[in-house]
Copies of this chain bind each other. A is one copy, B any other.
Amino acid sequence: MTNQSVIESLVRQAVRGVLQATPAAGVQPPGWVDGKPNLRVSISARHCHLTDEHVEILFGKGAKLEPEKPLYQDGFYAAAQTVMVVGPRRRMLPSVRVLGPTRSHSQVELALTDSISLGIDAPTRHSGDIDGTPGCVLVGPAGTVQLERGVIRAARHVHMNLHDCQYYGVENGDLMKLVVKSPACSVTFDDLLVRADEAAKLEVHIDTDEGNACNLEAAEQVELQKQTDSCKCHG
């Protein structure tokens, strides 16, 4: 590395907050690789979250969620169980995966394509923000739950820990953007909400429509940027 490029590298690191964010010696923040954040972009296919009570109604007295596949975020998992989600006019999705652990409110997260095929007008909301959202019927092998609300199109977001926050110069609740370079279908997604806590690993969650719009599987580059980096160029 030339002197010039060392300086540039240091300036870039400083701008990105790396120098301040460098964890204490020997501390590897969750999800970091080789001393820096390791961006993962995950597609959340349609899924639901259930309360303990609803698990018992749908799957039988005493039933618990059975962890089948751990998710990237520690402690979360795809359960062995699925439910049928039924919309108005008897349209339905036969097999929607349940994610664990259980929550205080049941919630169904769909891509807009799913919600259109189901005939439910699902608003774009962040997880847990379900006031005034439409409901649906959940059908399991042991019973049925009429959800009064909780069907949303999950707004895109990025999980990160506090070291990641420092690295990117953002705080919990800020908005970021994700630049995806894919052959013939590159996309920049704005409005990624930062959900930060001590333990999270850096992970963007987009839905299947978003993942397919940019053909994420074929992507050659993904980059996370502060929303305020967005340019004001107009042609």
Contact = CB atoms under 8 A, between A and B. Distances in A.
Interface of A: 15-16, 111-113, 116, 124-125, 153, 155-156, 168-169, 183-191, 207-210, 212-215, 218, 223, 225-226, 229-231, 233-235
The 10 A-B pairs with the shortest beta carbon distances in the complex, nearest first, are A231-B231, A112-B212, A186-B190, A213-B213, A188-B188, A209-B212, A225-B235, A210-B213, A229-B235, A209-B213
Tallying the copies of this chain within the complex gives: 2
Given A124-B183, A185-B155, A208-B113, A233 B231 contact: yes
A155 B208 CA distance: 18
Contact of A188 (B15, B156, B190, B235): B190
A191 B225 CA distance: 20
Give the dominant DSSP class at A's interface. Answer: mixed
B113 A235 contact: no
Contacts of A215: 112, 124, 153
Contacts of A156: 185
Contacts of A225: 233-235
B185 A124 contact: yes
Contacts of A230: 231, 233
Nearest to A193: B184
A225 to B, nearest CB: 4
A217 to B, nearest CB: 9
A113 B185 contact: no
